[in-house]
Every structure is written in C-alpha cells, then in structure tokens.
Amino acid sequence: MLHTPKITGITGRPVIRQLDEAAINRIAAGEVVERPASAVKELVENALDAGASRIQVDIADGGKTLIRVTDDGCGMTAEDLPLALSRHATSKIDGSDLLDIRSFGFRGEALPSLGAVGRLTITSRADGEAAQITCEGSRMSPVKPAALTRGTVVELRDLFFATPARLKFLRSDRAETQAVTEVIRRLAMAEPLVGFTLRDVSGGEARVLFRADPASGDLFDALGARLASVLGRDFIDNALRIDAEREGLRLQGYAALPTYSRGSSAQQYLFVNGRPVLDRMLYGALRAAYFDVLSRDRHPAAVLNLIADPQRVDVNVHPAKAEVRFREPDAARSLIITALKSALAGAGHRASSTVGAATLGAFHPVYQMDRPSQQSLSRAFAFQAPQGFAEASQAPAFTPGTAPSEEKAQPHDEHFREHPLGAARAQLHENYILAQTATGIVIVDQHAAHERLVYERLKRQLAETGIRSQPLLIPEIVDLSPTDAARLLDAAPDLAAVGLVIEPFGGSAVAIRETPAILGPVNGAALIRDILDELADQGDSNLVRAKIDAILSRMACHGSVRSGRQMRVEEMDALLREMEATPLSGQCNHGRPTYVELSLHDIERLFGRR
C-alpha cells in the first residue's frame, strides 16, 4: 500500500499550517462543483433567488469550455461584486438561524468556488450603472464599468483549468450535456412560472437543447402545462392531481396511473419546498404507495413537491444541497403513502390512455386503392344486377330512423349509455369481453379483471379480520450484528402489525416468536435478512406485507374466472359493473392493464374514414 509522505518539521512531528485562500477555495470547489452540471445548477439557482422570470443557459463542449447564465433578476451593484466572490458572503441569510432557509442558495460558496477552478466573469446591473468583475484561479480583477440592460450575466470559461487533474474525471461532451439538460429540466419543473432556455453554442452556432416558456394560471394549471412540455403530453394525460395536507405538511403535484409505469425510476422527480432532492426515504415512500399495484420490476412516474415549514427540514446537510433531513420523517413518509393510495383508489377503474394508443399501433389496416364513393358503388351494383332487379337494388336496405337493432333491443343495451365500460356484446376466444360504450368499444381481459376483483375482495376481508399470527412452539433465534439488530427492533412494531413478532434475545440476537399464519412454514432467518436488506436499501420494509399480498394474489388467481371459460352476457355485464365499482380495477395484480379502450374516432381512423 502506498502512503503519501507527511510534511514534517525539524523534530519530525507533522507541521500544522494555514492553507492559503486559493487552496481553500479549490478544496471547497471539490465539494460544490463536481462537474459542469453542478456549476449550472448553482448559477441557475442564484438566478432564481434573484427573482428572475427568464433564464438562458449557454454551454459549449458539455460545459467544459463555456457556461453562460443570463437572467433578468434584481442584479448586483458594483460594490456587491467583490463581496459576491468572497467565501461565505451571501444575501440569502443573516446567519442567525440556519434552520430557516427559504432560498435555493445560502452557503455563499458557489461563486468563489467557480472562480477558484475556472475563469469567471460576472456582469450585473441593479439600479445604477452596470459593472463587471473577473476572477481566475481565485485572483480577482478590479471592478470596471460594463454595458448591460438589466439582470446578471455569469460566464464561466475553462472549467477546472486551475485543477487539470479534475478534467480527467469528466465524461464525454455528450454525457456532460445530458447531465446539464437534466438539471435544467428538474429546475424547470420546480419553477413553472419561470422561462428556461438551454442552448449548445459549440462551434459558434446556437442550437436549442431545451426550452420551456413561462406557464400561466393557478398552481396546478401552470405545473400541468410545464410537465406536459417537459415530460410529454402522455404523462399529464395519465396522471392524477395530488393535493393533500397532514400534520402541517402538504404534498402537491402529479402521480401517474399504475398502467403508465416505467421500466426505471427515470420519471420520478421529488422536491422539498421547491428544491430538487435525492432522498432515499422519500423515494421509498413513493415505491411503497405503488407496491400493491406494480410488479417489482416496474416503477411509478411522479412529480411531487413536499411543502413544510423550513424549521422542520434541514437542507444544510451537504454543500450540494441535494440531501435533506426531516425532523419528523415518519410524518413525511406517511403523507406520501396515504395521499397517493387515496388518489389511486379514487381513480377507480381508470387505465392509462397509452394502452389504447399501443393497441392502435398494433393494428395493420389494409387500404384499397382508389376507394369509390357510396354513390358510385350504388350505380355499379345497379348496373351489375340482373334485369328487373335494378330498381330493387337502388332501394334502401331499411327505412331511415327504424334500425333493426331497435326492434331487438335488450335491457342491458342501456348500459353503454350509463356506464363507462358499456354493455357486453361478445366474448372473443373465450377470454376477451367486447363491450360497446357510448363513445367506442372496450376489450376486457376477463381473467385479469376478475383476478383483480377477487384480490381486492380478499384484501378487504383481511383488513376486517386482521392478519392472524402463528406462535412458534420453539422460537427461532437469529444472530445479527448490533447495528442490524437495532435497525430490526426499531421496525418491530410495524412487523408485528402484519403478524411477524420479534423480540430481543440477549446481545445482538433476536427471537422470532410468531409468524403470519397465511405464510405457512417460513425460513425465519432468511426472512429476517431479506427484511434487513430492504431496511438498509429503502429505510423501511414492506417485505412481509408483500409476501402476504402475493399469497392473496395467488389465491385470487385460482379463484378467478379462467381463460377459456364461456360466459353469458349477464355474467359479462356483471363483471363490467363490478370493475366500475372497484378501485384499481384498471390494472391486474402486476400492474398490467385489464382492459383496452378504443374510441369510435380511433376505429374510424383505422378504416380510413377520418
């Protein structure tokens, strides 16, 4: 193993010395500025704190050679500029209360850190004349007059020129550009009333990478418009509004339907008081809210902002300010889970509209060239008819206003006018129910739909009677590390609620006294270790609950209408009505859709009628 030699004095003892200002700034920059995206984040957040309504970001070579942020905020005076480049100088707080943070920035480290590792130029104008200052490797130039209409322009060139070793750890220009774009996207979602533009000016030509104009209207209208432009129209069309308050905390935003799930967590955006955060506890709560309606390899999509009194949230955890700590983490987690579960249950049988779009994409209509009009077809049929039948062939097949179906109308035909899932018309391949709605048709997977209905019925019964536990004749003793034992015993009350009772057994061992009866014989040690893995990864564990739900799901599968069984019209209609009355019936137990809806407009497009 290699060791760096220590600096020693005459006596051989290590020498304590004061680092110079440039070295201090470079060390601080290593915490604040990891890559171009970090610099962009700090500069754009400064612009937001300045009250900017429009922010333009220009980058070159992924931000390695140029980052320029232009805003129309309040600006700075000539006297402010040297102070802005001093460490721990800020206008955001007065230092008396570090728990009352109401701005993005507050540490006063970003600008001096950027000036320590790059060539920084700040041009700004407040009430008087514009002024400019430059800083290279922590060396500031005198302030000089400049030309600027309003706001501030911060230009950072040659990032890490003063610390060239850091350049080796940067990724390709394309990867750094993508990271910068993601930073702007997150901040654009946090501030829907502010306009954002990101341009790549490499090679002298400006290419717009991202643009979001200021949205208008109330909070949800503005946020919905911004999310539609950032994440796409499909997300907002298949998302539920979330607005819940509990114990002084408020959760607002949009959460997508389970059938709009993703293959990764890329569309999960969480904010605390408008600040983008990466908090394991919050993401675990989001996952827990969906765990009963999604398989483990699918991920929900959501954009959520948790609003709390700044005194209850500590954002001064890390210089990058992406991590936060809550005074009452359980209250925050509980709000997210209950709010999302309530919204999903309130969505009833609703399924994602993208399912219908995917269905349309699976069709391959065959078009006839030069299709004749109806009048031309009538004349052709009349000409081809035998003598004496020409007049008959031109007569209408039925009198207008007296359609044959009206004579044979059945009582359940009214269902398609009164109910979203319509009236059953046919059963296809003994597995799919074809129903007519007021605006189109619905195709239902009878087995998947009934499986969900039975599953929800079993869950309701279990909630009413509780989860029975099975006492073990001989408690199972599991030896753990002191840390794991403490973590597991902290979760003991939650585990007992689902039938798993554990107690301390001296030292760092725990005793399993009771297990959920519905699970049957279990390997206690393996179960405990799986729970510990989940606690370490997510901060909480739904493993036992998930295992119980998995058993209920299997029971529901065996007790459901099987594929291949022929159903009478009355049975099919009864299934449709129960789906409409049952929450979460739009997806099966694994998050797949239970039905597909096609509008009449879409069907007519398939046949070239529109």
- Write out the H or E segment, with its range, that includes residue 29: helix 21-32
**pLDDT score of 529:** 86
Q: How far is CA 360 from CA 352, 363, 600, 604, in A?
A: 14, 5, 12, 11
| Single-letter amino acid code for the residue at 468 | R
396: in domain: no
110: in domain: yes
- Check which CATH number belongs to the domain holding 296 and give it: 3.30.230.10
14: in domain: no
Q: Which of 193, 212, 231 finishes a domain?
A: 212
**Is this structure's pTM higher than 0.85?**
no
Is residue 420 domain-shared with residue 306, that is, in the same domain?
A: no
**pLDDT score of 58:** 97
- Domain region containing 333: 219-347
Is residue 163 domain-shared with residue 295, that is, in the same domain?
A: no
**pLDDT score of 263:** 86
Q: Which residues of the chain have pLDDT under 70?
A: 1-12, 19, 21-32, 88-108, 316-321, 351-417, 537-543, 551, 554-555, 558-559, 610
581: in domain: yes
Is residue 332 domain-shared with residue 357, that is, in the same domain?
A: no
Residue 469 DSSP SS3: strand
Is residue 227 domain-shared with residue 79, that is, in the same domain?
A: no
**pLDDT score of 191:** 94
Is residue 25 domain-shared with residue 160, that is, in the same domain?
A: yes
Mention every residue, 6+ apart, whose C-beta is less than 8 A from residue 210: 181, 184, 185, 188, 196, 197, 198
User: What is the DSSP code (8-state) at residue 471?
Assistant: E
Residue 561 DSSP SS3: coil
User: What is the DSSP code (8-state) at residue 349?
Assistant: T
Is residue 66 domain-shared with residue 170, that is, in the same domain?
A: yes
Tokens of residue 317, six digits: 């955890």
**pLDDT score of 108:** 60
Is residue 310 domain-shared with residue 342, that is, in the same domain?
A: yes
7: in domain: no
432: in domain: yes
**pLDDT score of 103:** 66
Q: Which of 157, 196, 144, 140 is nearest to 66 (CA)?
A: 157
Rounded (5°) CA angle 535-539-541: 50
10: in domain: no
- Check which CATH number belongs to the domain holding 154 and give it: 3.30.565.10
Is residue 419 domain-shared with residue 559, that is, in the same domain?
A: yes
11: in domain: no
Is residue 113 domain-shared with residue 195, that is, in the same domain?
A: yes
Is residue 474 domain-shared with residue 596, that is, in the same domain?
A: yes
**pLDDT score of 317:** 66
Q: How far is CA 119 from CA 90, 296, 303, 422, in A?
A: 21, 48, 36, 67
Using CA atoms, how far apart are residues 558 and 451, in angstroms rounded to an integer? Answer: 8
Using CA atoms, how far apart are residues 80 and 347, in angstroms rounded to an integer? Answer: 53
| Single-letter amino acid code for the residue at 388 | G
Dihedral pair phi/psi, residue 177, rounded to 5°: -65, -40
What per-residue string of b and e applies to 281-291 under the rule 16 or more CB within 10 Å gives b?
bbbbbbbbbbb
- Check which CATH number belongs to the domain holding 420 and give it: 3.30.1370.100
Is residue 600 domain-shared with residue 483, that is, in the same domain?
A: yes
Q: Which of 262, 258, 206, 203 is nearest to 232 (CA)?
A: 262
Mention every residue, 6+ apart, whose C-beta is less than 8 A from residue 282: 270, 272, 306, 332, 333, 336
Is residue 475 domain-shared with residue 341, that is, in the same domain?
A: no
| Single-letter amino acid code for the residue at 112 | P
Give how many domains the chain has, as a whole number: 3
